[in-house]
Amino acid sequence: MPSSDTITSEVKPIAGDPEVNEALYSELGILPDEFEQIKGFLGRTPTFTELGVYSVMWSEHCSYKNSIALLKTLPREGDALLAKAGEENAGAVDIGGGLAVVFKIESHNHPSALEPYQGAATGVGGIHRDIFTMGARPLASLNSLRFGSLDNPRVRHLLDGVVRGIGDYGNCFGVPTVGGEVFFDECYTGNPLVNAMSVGVVKVDGMISATMEGIGNPIMIVGSKTGRDGIHGATFASVELSKESESQRSSVQVGDPFTEKLLLEASLEIIKEKLAVGMQDMGAAGITCSCAEMSAKGEVGVEIDIDKVPTREPGMSPYEILLSESQERMLLCVKAGNEERVREIFSKWELDSTIIGEVTDTGRFVVTSKGQVVSDIPSTTLALGGETPVYIRETKRPAYLDEAHALDIGELSQDLDWNETLLTMLASPNLADKGWVFHQYDSSVRSNTVVGPGSDAAVIRLKKTRKALAMATDCNARYCYLDPFEGTRIAVAESARNLVCSGAKPLAVTNCLNFGNPYKPEVYYTFKAAIEGMSDACSALGTPVTGGNVSFYNEDPQRKVFPTPVIGMVGLIDDVACVTTSWFKNEGDIIYVLGVSKNELGGTEFLKVIHNRTEGIPPRLNMEEELRLQKTLLSAIEKRLVRSAHDVSDGGLAVALTECCIGDRDNPLGAEVTLEKLDGLRVDGLLFGESQSRVIVSVAPEDHGDFYRLLTDANQEFSRVGVVGGQRMTITGIVDVALTDLSAKFYQSLPALAERMV
C-alpha cells in the first residue's frame, strides 16, 4: 500500500472558487470533526474542489458512515459466493455449470419524490449498470415501491410517474420487469420508496472487477457526455426532504435508456474480448467515486486530466465535472495497447470513449486542469472500506411501541358480514391485483420469463440449460414499524417462502434498507433491530447477504415513515419443469393448508382496512417451523407432487385462498373448503390473521397418498381443507361468494383508484 500521508504536489485553488470555511463545509454536509480529519489527511486545508469531492464521498449515500459498522455484522459468508458484500458493485453467487448470478437492489427514493418519472427511470438504469459493469447481462428486474394513500392526488401523480419511469426505461433497455411489490400507506405520502433490483447472469470466468491495476494503464471514460445534471445528488440523498428540496430538482438526473442499451452491448463486448482490467459504472458521485473506489481497490493511484472529459456544455468547472451524476457513463481501466480496439467497439455503438488519465503508483487520486493540480487526495480516505468515517449512533427504544402494542384484540367487534368483509379486503390496493402497474412493464422480452408478475415469485429460465432462477422482493413494513426485529425476520422468511413456493432453493439476499434520519436515536434503534433480525433469519435460512443499499433520511415532516428493510432474494431451480405457480390448476385437486393458523391480527391488513388501526404485536415467526415447512414443501415440489403452492401472507387465509381461485384471471377455479376452528380461534383471526409459515397447496387426487406420507414423515403441521372446483369460493358456514364478484373487486380496484381524475 503506498503511503498516503505524504504531500506529493502543490494544489492550487482555481480563480473564483469560494473561500473554504465553516459556512461552506457545513452547507456541503461536512461536520466540524470531519473537516479536521480531512485537514489531517491532506496536511493542509482542502481546496473548494477537494472539499466537494470529500462532501460526496463522505455523504451517507457513498460512505455508509452510519450503517457500515452494523452491516458488517450480517452473515456474509457462503460457499457459493463469488463476490461478497462490499467487494464489488453487486453480489455474485455460483449456480453451477460455470455460471454465476449477479444481483443487487438499490433505492432511488429522494429523486423519485421530486421528479418521479426521471427519479425512478434513473434508479432502474443505475442498478442495471451495477450488474453489467461486472460482465453480467441483466436478465430481469423487480421493483419494490411504496406510496401514500391513493386518495391524495399528489400520490397518484407519484405512482403514475414512477411506474411510467420504470416502464419506459426497462422496456426500451430490453430487460423484462418481472415482479416486485407495491404497497400503500399514508406514512409514505411525502416520501415514497422506489427500490429497483436487477438480476443478471455471467460466465464465472467472464466476470470483471471494479479495480485499477497496472501502473501506466490508461483510464477511459465511455458512454454519455458529462453534463450539469445530478451535481451533489449523493449529498442531496443524505438529508431529509423538506420544502427546500423542490429547489434541488437539478440534483435529479435524467435517464436515456437507449444510450444505456448501447453502453451495455459495448461494455459486454469489451469484457468478452478481455480488453479491460477493471470497470465501474458512474452513479452517485460520478467520476469521483469511480476513480477513488477503483484505485483504492487496486491499491494504486490515478491521475486524470479533467479537461479531457467530454462535456455536454462548455464552461463546466472541474468541481462540476467531478461531481456530475450524468447517467449512462462508465470508467474503464484498459490494458495498455488495447485502446484502439476499445475505441472501435464504442464507436461501432456510436458512443464516446476518451482516455482521461492513467494508473499511478502514488495511492492518490489526482486531478489536473490546464496543467495545474486542482485536487490531490489519498484514495483510501475517500473509498468505502478505507479511511472514511464510521459511526455507531445512539439508540433509544421508540416511545410509540408500547402504545401500539397495547391493542387488545378482544375489544374488536366480530359483528361483520364475512362475505362483504372479504370483498372489502380484496379492494384494498395492497391486496388487489397490481396489473395496472405490471402491465406497463414488458415482462416477456428476452423470452425467458416462465413466471411473470402475479405469482409468489418470478421465474426466469436460463437458455441452453435446465436451470431457472426464482426471485422476489418482500417487506411487510407495518410489521417492521411495530417490531423491527421480528418484522425483518419475517421479511427474510417470507422472501424465502415465496421462492420455495415457486420450486426454488433460496440462495442469497440483497437488501435495501429504507430508514429515517440515523441521528435520531429512535430511528437508529429500528435500524439496529432490523439488522439483528436480518442476521438471525439469514443465518437460519442459510441465505447470506451479498450486498445492497442503505437509504437513510426517509422522513416526511408530518409523519413517521415505516422502517422498511426490503429483502430481495434469488433462488435456484435445477429443473425448470418443477416451476410451480400459486393458482389452482384443475377441478378435483385436493387443497391443503400447511402450517397453523392463530389469532394473529396485530399489524395486519385486516386491522388497517376494517378497523383503521396500525397497532398490535405483529405475527411471530417460529424459525424451526419455517425451516420444516420450506424443506418439506420444496421436497414435495421436486417430487412433482404439487400442482400449486401459495404463501399465506397479507390478508391471511381467506385472501390467499381467493388468489388461488382467481389468480389465473382467464381460468378461474372455485374451491369448497372447511376450515377447522381450533379452540379460541376467532373467525377474523382464522380468515384474515397473518400467522407465518403457512402455505396453501393443491395436489392431484392421484398424488394425494404420496403427498400425505411426505407431510407426516416430515412432522409437518397441515390440514386437508377441501377440493378445487366450481365457480364459487366457499368456506363452510362462513364465506360463500361467486368468483365473478371476487374477481371484480380484485381486478378492478387499483385501476379505479389510480386513475381517479379528481
Residues that are catalytic: 61, 108
Residue 116 has phi, psi (to 5 degrees) of: -60, -40
Are the C-beta atoms of residues 538 and 544 closer than 8 Å to each other?
Answer: yes
Task: Decide if residue 268 touches other proteins (CB under 8 A).
Answer: no
Pattern 168-187, other proteins, x by CB under 8 A? x--xxxx-------------
Residue 173 near residue 125, CB atoms below 8 Å: yes
Closest CA to 646 of 571, 744, 637: 637
Among residues 141, 198, 295, 443, which is the contact residue for other proteins, using CB under 8 A?
Answer: 443
Q: Which residues pair with 469 in a beta bridge?
A: 460, 572
Q: Given candidates 666, 679, 680, 702, which one binds other proteins under the rule CB under 8 A?
A: 666
Q: Does 272 bind other proteins (CB under 8 A)?
A: no
Q: Please, what is the Cα angle at 577 between 575 and 581, to 5 degrees?
A: 115
Nearest-angstrom CA–CA distance, 492 and 487: 9
Between residues 600 and 664, which has the closer beta carbon with respect to other proteins? 664
Nearest-approach distance from CB 253 to other proteins, in angstroms: 17
Stretch that binds other proteins, among 89-97, 380-388, 431-439, 625-633 (CB under 8 A): 431-439
Verify binding: residue 494, other proteins, rule CB under 8 A.
Answer: no
> How far is residue 76's CA from residue 472's CA, in Å, rounded to a whole number?
19
Strand 301-305 relative to strand 364-369, pairing: parallel
Q: Quick one: which of 289, 330, 450, 537 contacts other proteins (CB under 8 A)?
A: 450
In the stretch 151-170, what mask flags binding to other proteins with x, by CB under 8 A? Answer: -------------x--xx--
Size of the site for other proteins (CB under 8 A): 37
613 near other proteins, judged by CB under 8 A: no
- Interface segment toward other proteins; rule CB under 8 A; list 252-260, 311-319, 610-618, 718-726: 252-260
Site for other proteins in 321-350 (CB under 8 A): 349-350
What is the residue whose three cell numbers read 458512515?
65
Q: How far apart are CA 321 and CA 141, in angstroms?
A: 30
Cell 459556512 locates to 23
Q: Can you give the three-state secondary structure of 513-530, one letter per residue? A: EECCCCCCHHHHHHHHHH
Beta strand 218-223 with 276-281 is: unpaired
In angstroms, rounded to a whole number, what is the distance separating the alpha carbons of residues 64 and 35? 17
User: Could you tell me the three cell numbers for 589?
Assistant: 385437486
* Residue 175 CB, nearest approach to other proteins (Å): 8
Q: Binding to other proteins by residue 439, rule CB under 8 A?
A: yes
Best CA proximity match to 405, nearest among 561, 615, 607: 615
Q: Which three cell numbers stand for residue 576?
A: 425448470
**CB-facing half-sphere around the CA of 563: CA atoms within 13 A:** 28
Q: Can you tell me which of 405, 446, 613, 704 binds other proteins, judged by CB under 8 A?
A: 446
Nearer to other proteins, 171 or 622 (CB): 171
- Does residue 205 belong to the site contacting other proteins (CB under 8 A)? no
Is 487 an interacting residue with respect to other proteins (CB under 8 A)?
no
CB closer to other proteins out of 450 and 538:
450
Tell me if 728 sits within 8 A of 738, measured CB to CB. Answer: yes
Confirm or reject binding of residue 261 to other proteins (CB under 8 A). Answer: yes
Candidate ranges 324-332, 414-422, 446-454, 691-699; the one touching other proteins (CB under 8 A): 446-454
Sequence letter at residue 723 = V
Mark the segment that binds other proteins (CB under 8 A) among 218-226, 243-251, 413-421, 459-467: 459-467
CB of 132 to other proteins, least distance (A): 14
Q: Could you say whether residue 438 binds other proteins (CB under 8 A)?
A: yes
Question: Residues 169, 441, 525, 592: which binds other proteins (CB under 8 A)?
Answer: 441
Q: How far apart are CA 505 and CA 572, in angstroms?
A: 5
What are the residues binding other proteins (CB under 8 A)?
164, 167-168, 171-174, 256-259, 261-262, 265, 349-350, 435, 438-450, 461, 463-464, 576-577, 579, 666
